[in-house]
Amino acid sequence: MGYFKVKNSILNGNVRISGAKNSALPILAATILSSEKLEIENVPDLLDVQTMIEILRKIGKEVIFENNKVTLNGTVENHVVPYDLVRKMRASFNVAGPLAVILGESKVSLPGGCAIGVRPVDYHIMGLKKLGFEVEIAHGEVYIKKGKKEKEVIINLPFPSVGATEHLMTTAALMEGITVIENAAMEPEIVDLQNFLNSLGAKIQGAGSRKIVIEGVKSLNGRSYKVMPDRIEAGTYAIAIAATGGKGYIEEIIPEHLEILWEILKETGTNVTIEKNRVFVDGKGKKRGININIQPYPGFPTDLQPQILVYLSLADGVSMVVENVFKNRFHHIDELVRMGADIRVVDGTAIVNGVKKLSGTKVEGTDLRATAALIIAGLVAEGTTEVHNDFHVLRGYENIVEKIRHLNGEIEHIV
Ligand code: EPU
């Protein structure tokens, strides 16, 4: 396993943001529904994307991935997705419904636990049952068999789960009658998935609100589609530039997707200038602490919680960050404390007492965003930091070393 060697740096310059991982994954899973030629553009070259492509190949799709474009042909033929692929990435579970729609059945391993806490799939299963599927869980696998769907089905999610909303919306696209998802997640990635499916002939409306209505169609066509920019990658670089006291443009993004981040950065003392599809961040000067509530969209994203904690570690005063999406997503804090941060966790709230400096040491990433946060901590810390478990970051940040170097950051990937 490799690691990143990061030195104290000030990030300056412009960074171009890649296509969104969390859009590309459900869009790729949804390609199961069409047997025509599809071209998906602006797909980031990441480990998670490679895993999804491996799954699609395993179940019978012909897939070519070149220059950020995925070209798909053919129909799915195999209904089994083995554990070694689901184990690598939870989003793999989202092929279960679409696969059973096409083949009448599917067998997908249950995703295991992960470092950001317990992540069950009970809402997915509840929704699939409402859609008429028989669901059996045994030996760590979920077996799904198509049954009879009622003409109008209402699925009310207990929590606006991103994955369950995407999975059920995709599954229902080719099922007769109307499906309504209530208390749906409103993340921009869900709007992107709706736009993709509708571009193939699906009839879905309401994505981006709490209620999504799907009118089943008989089949989907082929065409090409461009994945939206990655708002979490954009937010990560904006926080990194601001935390190091540097300045620069975050380019080729949709600024409205991160309104809450721009507000938090401004309120804490970073200058932010929003333009049409780029944002200028200037982190010169002192920062102030602030309280943040991590919530589903349009709230502050859990996927930027570890990164903003690094930024707040060096801000004046006390900050409180309440995690309401993944209650245990705090493993990065132990490592930040080893670097000199003063953070305590009490009942799902991180209480940060701003310190004057962090100092470099060896640290270990526990998940994708936690590892990205430790790289930011390495950039702001005195001396050199070794961030171990490099593979987490390679799951979700395209060309991270090149992008940070382009911003004048000192980082080396040791493999
Ligand atoms: N939940 C359940 N039961 C379910 C589904 C979810 O209890 O059946 C709970 C989860 O345990 C969690 C909450 O609901 O407490 C929200 O989970 P959600 O389903 O929204 O998360 P997800 O779909 O598994 C996606 C992203 C995550 C991101 C979350 C929240 C993808 C591929 N993953 O996960 O991204 O943190 O939404 O926004 O889209 C990342 O990119 O690093 C990442 C972890």
**Residues 216-231: tens digit of each pLDDT:** 999 999 889 999 999 9
- Phi and psi dihedrals of 365, rounded to 5? -80, 145
Q: What is the pLDDT of residues 20-39, one digit of tens each?
A: 999 999 999 999 999 999 99
Which of 128, 325, 327 for a ligand 1 pocket mutation test, highest count of atoms within 8 Å of Cβ?
325
Domain boundaries, the chain: 3-18+229-414, 21-226
The Å distance, Cα 61 to ligand 1 centre, comes to 26
Atom 28 of ligand 1, nearest CA residue:
303
Of all residues in the chain, the percent with pLDDT exceeding 70 is: 98
Mean pLDDT value of segment 362-376 = 96
How high is the pLDDT of residue 120?
A: 85
CATH number for the domain formed by residue range(s) 21-226: 3.65.10.10
Lowest mean pLDDT among 87-91, 312-316, 352-356, 366-370: 87-91
Atom 14 of ligand 1, nearest CA residue:
161
Mean pLDDT value of segment 254-269 = 98
Q: Cα(145)–Cα(412) distance, rounded to whole angstroms? A: 49
Residues 178/151, Cβ–Cβ less than 8 Å: yes
pLDDT for 113 beyond 60: no
Closest ligand 1 atom, CA of 159?
Answer: 14
The Å distance, Cα 327 to ligand 1 centre, comes to 12
Closest ligand 1 atom, CA of 367?
Answer: 42
Q: What is the pLDDT of residues 321-354, one digit of tens each?
A: 999 999 889 999 999 999 999 999 999 999 999 9
Residues 33/56, Cβ–Cβ less than 8 Å: no
How high is the pLDDT of residue 114?
A: 61
Residues 270/283, Cβ–Cβ less than 8 Å: yes
Query: Cα–chain-centroid distance for residue 48?
Result: 10
Atom 24 of ligand 1, nearest CA residue:
163
Q: Cα(371)–Cα(336) distance, rounded to whole angstroms? A: 11
Domain range 3-18+229-414, CATH class: alpha beta
Residues 339/363, Cβ–Cβ less than 8 Å: yes
Q: Match 């010169």 to its residue by tokens.
A: 284
- Tell me if residue 227 falls in helix, strand or coil: coil
What is the layout of strands, in order, in the sheet containing 384-388? Answer: 362-364, 384-388, 3-7, 410-414
How high is the pLDDT of residue 82?
A: 84
Q: How far is CA 241 from CA 47, 237, 279, 284, 324, in A?
A: 25, 6, 12, 10, 26
Of all residues in the chain, the percent with pLDDT exceeding 90 is: 92
- Residue 306, ligand 1, Cβ within 6 A: no
52 Cβ neighbours under 8 A, 6+ residues apart = 24, 25, 28, 29, 89, 91, 92
- Residue 369, ligand 1, Cβ within 6 A: yes
Q: What is the pLDDT of residues 148-160, one digit of tens each?
A: 999 999 999 999 9
Q: Are strands 223-226 and 38-41 parallel, antiparallel or unpaired?
A: parallel
Closest ligand 1 atom, CA of 189?
Answer: 39
112 confidence band (pLDDT: 50, 70, 90): low
Q: What is the pLDDT of residues 273-293, one digit of tens each?
A: 999 999 999 999 999 999 999
Which of 28, 90, 161 for a ligand 1 pocket mutation test, highest count of atoms within 8 Å of Cβ?
161
117 confidence band (pLDDT: 50, 70, 90): low
Q: Cα(88)–Cα(328) distance, rounded to whole angstroms? A: 20
How high is the pLDDT of residue 139?
A: 87
Q: Cα(185)–Cα(161) distance, rounded to whole angstroms? A: 6
| Mean residue pLDDT across the chain | 96
236 confidence band (pLDDT: 50, 70, 90): very high
How high is the pLDDT of residue 275?
A: 97
- Residue 168, ligand 1, Cβ within 6 A: no
Do 3-18+229-414 and 21-226 share a fold?
Answer: yes
Mean pLDDT value of segment 225-245 = 98
- Residue 212, strand partner residues: 181
Mean pLDDT value of segment 358-369 = 96
How high is the pLDDT of residue 216?
A: 98
Q: Match 């049954």 to its residue by tokens.
A: 147
pLDDT for 382 beyond 70: yes
pLDDT for 89 beyond 90: no
309 Cβ neighbours under 8 A, 6+ residues apart = 321, 332, 333, 336, 341, 343, 350, 352, 373
Mean pLDDT value of segment 165-170 = 98
Give me Rg for the CA atoms of the chain: 21
What is the layout of strands, in order, in the sheet containing 318-323? Answer: 292-294, 318-323, 349-353, 342-346
Tokens of 248: 């620069």
Q: Is the dihedral of CA 53, 57, 60, 66 positive or negative?
A: positive
Catalytic machinery residues:
114
Q: What is the pLDDT of residues 304-315, one digit of tens each?
A: 999 999 999 999
How high is the pLDDT of residue 247?
A: 98
Tokens of 409: 């950051």
Q: Cα(368)–Cα(380) distance, rounded to whole angstroms? A: 19
pLDDT for 115 beyond 80: no
291 Cβ neighbours under 8 A, 6+ residues apart = 319, 320, 321, 322
Tokens of 57: 């190949």
